[in-house]
Structure 1
Amino acid sequence: MTQPKIIVLDDDPTGSQTVHGCLLLTRWDVATLKQGLNDASPLMFVLTNTRGMGAHDAEQITREVCQNLKTAMKGFDRPALFVSRSDSTLRGHYPIETDVMEQELGPFDAHFLTPAFFEGGRFTMDSVHYVRMGDKAVPAHETEFAKDSVFGYKHSFLPDYVEEKTKGRIKSEDVVRFSLDDIRRGCLYKLMALHGNPCCAVDAENQEDYNRFAVDLDAAATQGKRFLFRSAASLLTSLAKLPPQPVPAEEMHKYVKEGRPGVIVVGSHVKKSTEQLEVLLQQEGIAAVEVDVSRLPEQLHAVLSETLDKVAQAHAEGKTPVIYTSRVERQFADHQMRLRFGEHVSGFLMTVVHGLPTTIGYIISKGGITSNDMLSSGLALPTSRLLGQILAGCSVVQTPHDHRLPDIPVVIFPGNVGDQNALAVVYNRLRGK
């Protein structure tokens, strides 16, 4: 059987953090989708950025992508697997996005929750999703991620999480649980028995668990089963079956244009990002450029001028400017106000990107929403080719030859990935240190 095309609707650009060689699409018109479908890679990503939107906009965007996909796939002669890629710490517009995909692309025999992301220390056992923090495995609902003002939740036992998020439409006891024993013994029989789109919670402790699960998924698909996935990145590794990336992570400096200094943009505000920023700012060759977001949007033009002047001066001195937003978390009356303010800040950062010196050697973009805006708005790339990972969970794409910033690597660095030294490690790898 022909290997299925894996079509991923990614709610920010970090879902490609375990694969390489594929296209990332920041537009979803029919022509661009056909380009992705016809590409030789077994998978493609449509970067919807819905995690940075309100529920209504997320639903509308997802529906538009699905409807355009149906048009683009007319005459497409390969089977397809559909993935709603989301955060490995359970944040995002669930079940809105999977509901829309079922309505537009279904019917499906089942949809699966597969949030494990091993490179980031997230795994699922006994249907409980854990986040590794240091040497401890913490149930996800006990972490800072569960307190997210937009996507917060109270349960990390996935059947209870589903009941919470669906407001009781799907009962906890109706969620089909795939245990580690099921996965490791082989679960084809269980997959073949699924119909009517029940929600399934899948255990996975390591990549080999997903590799085994993917074998059974392929076998079920061969026999006509249609499945939808609400997944983090690690399952995609198993589904795509890719060889090692062409250039190892430790040698990514080979992509840096003429060994020049780069620019680092930090938009993420999670605790881990702040800790990584503190270590980065202590590295040799770094110039700190802090953006006081309390002055936005009222003093936008003055702050923009000041920021670009500091960036230009640092670059002229052979240093790498780190453009980062002030770390104090502002309080808002509701999540809509928070989202709007986040859009103001991200829009400002992308305006800074438009004004970067054309002689920089690379860009590091820290934060999921920041990175999506970097590709779609700051760099205005309708498609980009994924080179691979420079660090577990951190992808690298390259700008095209005819771009304003031509042939430079761009690191997509999620907010919640890596230890406190990770951002400094990526910086030093790009320097060849």
Structure 2
Amino acid sequence: MTDQPKIIVLDDDPTGSQTVHSCLLLLKWEVDTLELGLQDESPIFFVLTNTRALPPGEAAAVTRAVCQNLQQALKNTHTTEFLLVSRSDSTLRGHYPIETDVIAAELGPFDAHFMTPAFFEGGRVTVDSTHYIQSGDRRTPVHETEFAQDSVFGYHHSYLPDYVAEKTQGKIAAEQVEQFRLEDIRQGTLERLMQLQDNVCVAVDAETQQDMDRFAQDLLTAAARGQRFLFRSAASLLTSLANLPPQPVAAADMGQYARGTHPGAILVGSHVQKTTQQLKQLLQLPHVVGIEVDVVRLKADAQAHADILEQVLAAVNTAYDQGQTPAIYTSRQELTFGDKETRLAFGAAVSTLLMDIVRGLPADIAFLISKGGITSNDTLSRGLALTSARLLGQVLPGVSVVRTPADHPQFPNLPVVLFPGNVGGEGAIATVCQRLSTHAR
């Protein structure tokens, strides 16, 4: 084995870092910013591209720009040992194969690209090449869940070879997808890994983190022997590839990162059912005040932005002055649109409103919780205008905390919780709020 390769993750929202810690999240991808990640001590870093919020053409253009700058940064830093991961949602939503095709065209050739959507903290497992969501003893194929009905990224198959054929529109036929089943993973896959070529697609089973650990060791060995691999992956593979020690501050002690004794603020953009259930429990906490952002009104009248912003910030300041934590949430109705482009454009308009709200928050909030992947990305890149942030670790399984730099002009050293929409039990946001609140200390 050679030295640990640098793991470079192009993340389609900022929640893919939900199983690692102490690494950099890059919000920009100029060459010198990418060099920061390549030269950082951590074996892994993330480039937050937010492509899941973009139409296909823009997603491809962003991915291409990152890859071209990365090629220069790799050259400038003399980095030759690296692995590339296209991190995507663990429920199979996202721009596949657009992103992996662009990466392969710009930074290839690769011998294989692996489909590894397992994410154990979120109950996602892959068995017999079929991807499931596990809840208690029940496993539901993901095509039977609300995630498969996504208005932009919907799909009809949980069996990964069929999913690949569907998403590539037959360019990769189901029978062309190599399958690494659980028995293969557990017996060792090194020999097969060494025989892969021509960027073949490989569907990978994993039922436990130990499965990923075993697979990652074989991957690293094969890579050290010259094989070039690309990954379309959720977060659990990253845990195994990075092989980090425990995070410096335990999840239950994350409250020590909160700034002072003031209330925090909570921003809820995700509208999946799990988030709505969590919001309901959060609003039962005595020190939390719910403030609704009426996005239905915004859909009816794009000019309503200024009025809604003024009303929300007035309510936020009233709650804050009374020592209450404002929980700002988008109205929960599922809106319908004529086409995907209109849906994405409206999502961008809602995000612009939410980011204006973030910029209008009291400057001395103790913490900020951002619920939803795209919401979290926009909070970091636009609301807080960060170039990079240091990942502290997880406050709950699958829920990361980053901190703004000490020289941030508005919110220095602010702990920001990046909370995926589809992660956690019903009391999860409430638990995080209590861990970070002075009310619970």
* Structure 2 residue aligned with 1:32: 33
Paired letter, 1:424: A
Question: Offset of 1:134 from its aligned partner?
Answer: 4.5
Relative to the length of structure 1, the TM-score reads 0.99
Question: Offset of 1:295 from its aligned partner?
Answer: 2.0
CA distance in 2, matches of 1:148, 1:314: 35
* Structure 1 residue aligned with 2:350: 345
SS at match of 1:258: coil
SS at match of 1:97: helix
Q: How does 1:15-414 map to 2 (within 5 A)?
A: 15-75=16-76, 76-296=78-298, 297-403=302-408, 404-414=410-420
SS at match of 1:410: strand
Question: Offset of 1:77 from its aligned partner?
Answer: 3.3
Question: Offset of 1:39 from its aligned partner?
Answer: 0.7
Question: Offset of 1:359 from its aligned partner?
Answer: 1.3
Per-residue CA shift, 1:176-225, capped at 9, x if unaligned? 00010110001100100101110000000010000000110111011100
SS at match of 1:386: strand
Per-residue CA shift, 1:118-142, capped at 9, x if unaligned? 0000000000000123441100100
Paired letter, 1:45: F
Per-residue CA shift, 1:375-429, capped at 9, x if unaligned? 0000011000000000001000001112111112100000000111111111111
CA distance in 2, matches of 1:293, 1:157: 36
Q: Does 1:423 align with 2:429?
A: yes
Per-residue CA shift, 1:318-347, capped at 9, x if unaligned? 110000010011110001101000100011
Q: Is the 2:264–2:437 Cα contact (8 Å) retained in structure 1? A: no
Relative to the length of structure 2, the TM-score reads 0.97
CA distance in 2, matches of 1:321, 1:134: 33
CA distance in 2, matches of 1:121, 1:129: 10
CA distance in 2, matches of 1:56, 1:8: 20
CA distance in 1, matches of 2:117, 2:125: 7
CA distance in 2, matches of 1:14, 1:416: 11
Q: Is the 1:129–1:158 Cα contact (8 Å) retained in structure 2? A: yes
CA distance in 1, matches of 2:134, 2:55: 29
CA distance in 2, matches of 1:401, 1:225: 41
Paired letter, 1:359: D
Q: Is the 1:109–1:227 Cα contact (8 Å) retained in structure 2? A: yes
CA distance in 2, matches of 1:259, 1:36: 34
Q: Is the 1:367–1:415 Cα contact (8 Å) retained in structure 2? A: yes
Question: Offset of 1:298 from its aligned partner?
Answer: 2.2
CA distance in 2, matches of 1:275, 1:172: 37
CA distance in 2, matches of 1:95, 1:32: 26
CA distance in 2, matches of 1:356, 1:421: 25
SS at match of 1:73: helix
RMSD of aligned Cα (Å) = 0.8
SS at match of 1:275: helix
SS at match of 1:283: coil
Paired letter, 2:392: L
Percent identity for Structure 1 against Structure 2: 61
CA distance in 2, matches of 1:401, 1:323: 26
Paired letter, 1:247: V
CA distance in 2, matches of 1:47, 1:77: 20
SS at match of 2:38: helix
Structure 1 unaligned residues grouped into runs of 5+: none
CA distance in 2, matches of 1:183, 1:207: 12
Q: Is the 1:2–1:78 Cα contact (8 Å) retained in structure 2? A: no
CA distance in 1, matches of 2:225, 2:270: 44
**Measured at CA, do residues 340 and 134 of structure 1 come closer, stay the same or move farther in structure 2, by a change above 3 Å?**
farther
Per-residue CA shift, 1:117-173, capped at 9, x if unaligned? 000000000000001234411001000000101000000000000000000010101
CA distance in 2, matches of 1:89, 1:300: 32
Paired letter, 2:32: A
Paired letter, 1:150: V
Q: Is the 2:90–2:234 Cα contact (8 Å) retained in structure 1? A: yes
Paired letter, 1:158: L
Q: Is the 1:141–1:156 Cα contact (8 Å) retained in structure 2? A: yes
Paired letter, 2:278: Q
Q: Is the 1:253–1:259 Cα contact (8 Å) retained in structure 2? A: no
Tell me the number of residue pairs that the alignment of Structure 1 and Structure 2 aligns. Answer: 433
Paired letter, 2:293: V
Question: Offset of 1:259 from its aligned partner?
Answer: 3.3
